[in-house]
Amino acid sequence: MRNAALDTSVYLDRLARVRAAMADQQVDAVMLSVGHDLPYMTGYTAMPLERLTMLVVQRDGDPALLIPGLEAARVVPQPGVFDLLPWSETEDPTDIVGRLVSGAKRIAVGDQMWSRFLVELLPHLPNTQFTRAVDVVGPLRMSKDRAELDALAAAGAAVDKIAGELQRGEIPLIGRTEAEVSSYLGHRIIEEGHQVVNFAIVAAGENAASPHHHPGDRVIQPGEIVLTDFGGTMNGYCSDTTRCVFTGDIPADVAEAYDVLFESQAAGVSAATIGTACEDVDRACRKVIDDAGYGDYFIHRTGHGIGLEAHEDPYIVEGNKRPLEAGHAFSIEPGIYIPGKWGMRLEDIAAATEAGPERFNNSDHRLVSVDA
Ligand code: ZN
Ligand code: ZN
Ligand code: ZN
C-alpha cells in the first residue's frame, strides 16, 4: 500500500480538529489502527497484520504512533503530529498502550481495529468506557477540503476515460465473458493511474438485474444491456462510476426505462445542495422512478459517501436526516432492476459545494448502443 503523505501542516490541522471534537465529546483518548482514520490523521496506512500498529491521541502532548519495529522504516515522519514508538518482537504492545492511557475514562477506538487488540486491552483498562472513533473523526473526514475534492475529481476523470472507451465501442464485449471484460477494466484502471482496483462489475442481460453481480462465465451476446460499475483508489482517494451500454439496437422497453433512470439521476444531482438532507436527495431520485411506475424495481439506497474509503459516510438513504455540508462527497446511483430480464444503473460521484453540486464523472450519461 502506497503512503501518500501530505504536508505536515495538513495533519497538524486535522489533529487540532480531532482534539476539539474530543473535548466536545469528553473523550480522553482516540486509538486508531488498521482502517482509513489512521492515514487520514498521519499519512501512514497500517499493514493489516497481527502485529499491532496504533496511533494514540490524548488531549495533550504529541500523539504516539506505536508500530512493529520492522515497519518503522515505512513511516514518513511528521514532526508534531506523532512520536514514533517502535516496539520489538518480544514486547507486549497492548501493555505499552495500557500504560500510555492509564487513567483515561473514555476512549474512542477505530471501527476497523481488530477485536483481538481491544479484547487484549480490556484487562489493562478496567475502568475505561469505550466508544467509536467514527463519532470523533468521521465528521471531519466527511467534510473534504479542496485538495481532497480535487483528488476525487482526478480519480473520477481517470475512470471516465475508460467509460468513454466502452461507449465508443473500443472495448470488445460480444463473445467475451463478463469476467474477461472485468479483468480488462481492472487493467485499464491501473493504467489510468490508480494504485488499487476496488471492483469491476460487469453484468450482461438478466445478470444486470443483480446490483452486485459477480462477473462470471456468462458470454456477452448481441442485443443486450451490459452494466459496468468500476473504481479503484488513486493517490489515496476512490473512484466509482456505473455506465450501461447496449450491444445493438435498443428495444423500446429498455429505452423507456433508461430515460426514467437518466431523469432520476439528474434529479438526485440537482438536489445535492448544501443544507439538503441526505434522505431528500434519495427522495428526489426515487420520486422520478416511482412516478414512472418502476418504484418496485429500485431496490437499494441512492448512494454512499466516498473518499479514502469506497463506502463511507454520508449515506444517501431514507432516514438519514443529516444535512449536506460543503465538501460532502457521495455517489448518486439509482437503478432499475427487472428480475430475469435486465437491469440498469447510472452512477456519478458528486460533491456539495458553495457553487452548487459538482459532478466528478462526466462521461456520456445516455444509454449508448455499441457495435463491439
Ligand atoms: Zn454498490
Ligand atoms: Zn459503483
Ligand atoms: Zn457506488
pLDDT for residue 223? 98
Domain contains 233 = yes
Q: Is 215 within 8 Å of 197 (Cβ atoms)?
A: no
Between the CA of 330 and the centroid of ligand 1 the distance, in Å, is 12
pTM of the model: 0.92
Domain contains 22 = yes
Between the CA of 331 and the centroid of ligand 1 the distance, in Å, is 10
Between the CA of 160 and the centroid of ligand 2 the distance, in Å, is 13
| Residue after which a domain boundary falls, among 112, 141, 170 | 141
Q: What angle do CA 74, 59, 40 make, to 5 degrees?
A: 35
- Tens digit of pLDDT for each residue in 11-66? 999 999 999 999 999 999 999 999 899 999 999 999 888 899 999 999 988 899 99
For residue 298, give Cα distances in angstroms to 208, 265, 341. Answer: 13, 12, 14
Shortest-distance ligand to the CA of residue 303: 3
Between the CA of 310 and the centroid of ligand 3 the distance, in Å, is 7
Between the CA of 212 and the centroid of ligand 1 the distance, in Å, is 6
Residue 52 three-state SS: coil
Residue 113 and residue 158 in one domain: no
Task: Please state whether beta strands 241-247 and 368-370 pair in parallel, antiparallel, or not at all (unpaired).
Answer: parallel
Shortest-distance ligand to the CA of residue 198: 2
State the CATH number of the domain containing residue 53: 3.40.350.10
Between the CA of 109 and the centroid of ligand 1 the distance, in Å, is 26
- Tens digit of pLDDT for each residue in 91-101? 999 999 999 99
For the segment 219-239, the average pLDDT, to the nearest whole number, is 97
Question: Scanning the structure block, which residue is given the C-alpha cell 496504533?
Answer: 54
- Tens digit of pLDDT for each residue in 351-362? 999 999 999 999
Residue 225 three-state SS: strand
Residue 41 and residue 161 in one domain: no
Shortest-distance ligand to the CA of residue 230: 2
Residue 158 and residue 294 in one domain: yes
pLDDT for residue 151? 96
Residue 220 and residue 328 in one domain: yes
pLDDT confidence band for 4 (50 / 70 / 90): low
Residue 278 and residue 335 in one domain: yes
State the CATH number of the domain containing residue 201: 3.90.230.10
Residues 6+ apart with CB under 8 A from 73: none
Domain contains 1 = no
Residue 64 and residue 187 in one domain: no
Domain contains 135 = yes
123 DSSP assignment: G
**Measuring CA to CA, which residue among 20, 17, 19, 28 is closest to residue 130?**
28
DSSP 262-331: HHHHHHHHHH--TT-BHHHHHHHHHHHHHHTT-GGG--S-SEEE-SSSSSEEEEE-TT--PBP-TT-EEE
112 DSSP assignment: T
Residue 173 and residue 313 in one domain: yes
Residue 151 and residue 278 in one domain: yes
Between the CA of 103 and the centroid of ligand 2 the distance, in Å, is 45
Between the CA of 244 and the centroid of ligand 2 the distance, in Å, is 12
Amino acid residing at 361: N
Residue 264 and residue 127 in one domain: no
Between the CA of 153 and the centroid of ligand 2 the distance, in Å, is 15
| Residue after which a domain boundary falls, among 141, 163, 185 | 141
For the segment 240-247, the average pLDDT, to the nearest whole number, is 98
C-alpha 187/C-alpha 26 separation (Å) is 47
Residue 189 and residue 302 in one domain: yes
pLDDT confidence band for 2 (50 / 70 / 90): very low
Residue 215 and residue 237 in one domain: yes
Residue 179 and residue 262 in one domain: yes
Structural domain count of the chain = 2
| Residue after which a domain boundary falls, among 126, 141, 156 | 141
Domain contains 79 = yes
Between the CA of 194 and the centroid of ligand 1 the distance, in Å, is 19
Domain contains 3 = no
Shortest-distance ligand to the CA of residue 350: 3
Shortest-distance ligand to the CA of residue 213: 1
Calculate the average pLDDT of the chain: 95
Domain that holds residue 279: 143-369
